[in-house]
Chains A and B, each alone.
Chain A
Amino acid sequence: MVKHSYSFFLGCVIPNRLPQIEAATRLIAPKLDIELVEMKGASCCPAPGVIKSFDKATWLSITARNLALAEENGLDILVLCNGCYGTLIAGVDDLKDEETRKRVNKILKGTGHQFKGTITAKHLVEVLYNDIGKDAIEETVENPIDARFAIHIGCHLLKPSDIRPWGVVEDFTLVDELVETVGGTVVDYKLKDMCCGAGGGLRSAELEVSLDMVREKLEAMKEAKIDAMVNVCNFCHLQFDLGQMQVNKHFGTDYQIPVLYYTQLLGLAQGFTPKQMGLDKHFISVAPFLEKIGMSV
């Protein structure tokens, strides 16, 4: 079988706040013949909603350094976060322009890195769906997960669509299909395409507005009577898990919707234990979902 090798970009939130997603991804990868090559010394992507909001030149220069690290590996990037994906892919696009690249490489002079523009960044969904394929994923499933799921796709996976590989911006079904591949039933809910409210610097400086957005989505998910929600972005994940706890405190609600990053769900299906997938480290208990599928933490 061919080996699929990628430069593995971690970002900030995954390694430093939600390492369960990192652990789960590192475990599921070899089963799919994915090799994750470290990007030694990678930094914040930097975050598109905050750092790009403050100073585009700094944002693009630090992005270019991260891209250069992957280029030194000679491998495209595999990225797990929609925000990092948004930054890296916008960086690749901006740096296609020779003048811009020259200007940015001048700033990078002295760091020992230069970006030539020979690699790109792929989101986990793109790697799983296009490079690996549903059939190969299905072959690794030992334990189909028969439960009802709400999918949250997240904004920056799809938008801006002109620099994304999907060809659609609404009715995006790839994540749904990946969840169905491991045996899940995908349930439609109101506001499926809506933003989680974490981005744009809202979580850091406008928490109440940010939480009110995710509250609206949680309510819609609750109405849809699901067993868990599945996401493909750690920042959305943080907003649904930690944010759900904050919503309950702030608005006096009692949402108890288990939150899973896709690689955690895939890992369960591949026969890893809930503990290996870090499901005991969540803010909102995953136990009711595990019970439903005959497992426990």
Chain B
Amino acid sequence: MTIVIDRRVINGSKIDSELAEDMTKAGLDRIRSCIQCGTCTGSCPAGRRTAYRTRQLIRKALLGLREEVLSDPNLWLCSTCGTCTERCPRKIDVTEAILYLRNLSCEAGYMRPEHQGVSHKLIETGHAVPIDDEKWSKLREELGLDPLPPTVHSYPKAVKEIQHIIKKTGFDKLVNYKESKKDGET
């Protein structure tokens, strides 16, 4: 009987060896010591019910399959529980590596509309989950609390401070935020 081994050929042009280099520079240098043991995948509550494979993601990142990694919707199935990081025998900060790849994925334009929505709320109010309906203030009052908490919601100047930070880091551009939908300035 002949055994046919099916090999996946990776086209050289798809390989971007700088990805691993970038990760190293970002403080994720231990990633190169991955032995592909699969402990991360075996620990993963997200991988248990989906096609997401942590080990495979790390392998692809190390191989430099930048486009494939950054465009993969599975990258967004990690709940950031941190179990893989605790258990990795090579002490790789797997969860941080995933967050780093997600940052690159957003930069490359693969951000989910839902996630853009959350970000827009942060930019507009300083809260990712703001009081955007009167019913929440009512609920607070029923519990004997002030209708607005002593957060950015009570201090318009604080919202301006958040917006100042966001302009400086360019987060507004990253999440495709169009200014002043509300006060109609531009």
- Which stretch, A58-66, A248-256, A284-292, touches the partner chain B? A58-66
Q: Is A112 an interface residue (CB 8 A)?
A: yes
Supposing A12-B129, A209-B50 touch, asked if A199 and B80 sit within 8 A by C-beta, the answer is: yes
- Please determine whether B115 and A195 come into contact, CB atoms closer than 8 angstroms: no
CA distance A169 to B114 in the complex (A): 32
Flag B142-175 by CB within 8 Å of A: 1 or 0 each. 1111000111111101100110111011010011
Q: With the chains together, A201 CA to B85 CA distance in Å? A: 18
Q: Which residue of A lies closest to B86 (CB)?
A: A169
| Cα separation A287 to B106 with both chains bound (whole Å) | 45
Which residues of B in the span 20-42 have a Cβ within 8 Å of any Cβ on A? none
A118 CB within 8 Å of chain B: no
The 0/1 profile, CB within 8 Å of A marked 1, for residues 72-93 of chain B is 0000111111110110000001
Q: How many cross-chain pairs have Cβ atoms below 8 Å apart between A and B?
A: 201
How far is B153's CA from A266's CA once the two chains are assembled, in angstroms?
Answer: 29
Is there contact, CB below 8 Å, between A40 and B115? no
- A116 at interface (Cβ–Cβ under 8 A)? no
Q: Which of B122, B149, B158, B162 is A15 in contact with, Cβ under 8 Å? A: B149
Main secondary structure of the interface of B (DSSP, over half): helix
CB contacts (< 8 Å) of B86 on chain A: these are: 159-161, 169
Decide: A108 and B143 in contact? CB cutoff 8 A: no
On chain A, the number of residues with a Cβ less than 8 Å from chain B's Cβ atoms is 64
Distance in Å: Cβ of A140 to nearest Cβ of chain B:
20
A41 contact from B50, B144, B152, Cβ within 8 A: B152
Neighbouring A residues of B168 by C-beta, 8 Å: 61, 107, 110
Task: Name which residue of chain B comes closest to A158, CB basis.
Answer: B82
Q: Which of B45, B83, B140, B174 contacts A54 (CB 8 A)?
A: B174
Cα separation A281 to B142 with both chains bound (whole Å): 10
User: How far, in Å, is B31 (CB) from chain A's closest CB?
Assistant: 15
Query: Is the CB of B126 closer than 8 A to any CB of chain A?
Result: yes
A205→B115 contact, CB < 8 A = yes
Known: A43-B127, A61-B169, A159-B83. Is A10-B151 also a contact (CB below 8 A)?
yes
**Are B162 and A62 in contact (CB-based, < 8 A)?**
yes
The residues of A with any CB-CB pair to B shorter than 8 Å are 10, 12-13, 15-17, 19-20, 22-23, 26, 38-44, 46-58, 61-62, 65, 107-108, 110-113, 155-156, 158-161, 169, 194-195, 197-202, 204-206, 209-210, 212-213, 278, 281
Q: A10-B151, A155-B79 given. 8 additional CB < 8 A pairs?
A: A17-B136, A44-B129, A58-B166, A107-B168, A108-B165, A198-B79, A199-B79, A200-B76
- Which 7 residue pairs spanning A and B have beta carbons closest together? A41-B158, A159-B82, A15-B149, A195-B81, A41-B155, A12-B129, A43-B126
Which chain B residues have a beta carbon within 8 Å of chain A's beta carbons? 45-46, 49-50, 76-83, 85-86, 93, 95, 99-100, 102-103, 106, 111-112, 114-115, 117-119, 122, 126-131, 136, 139-140, 142-145, 149-155, 157-158, 161-162, 164-166, 168-169, 171, 174-175
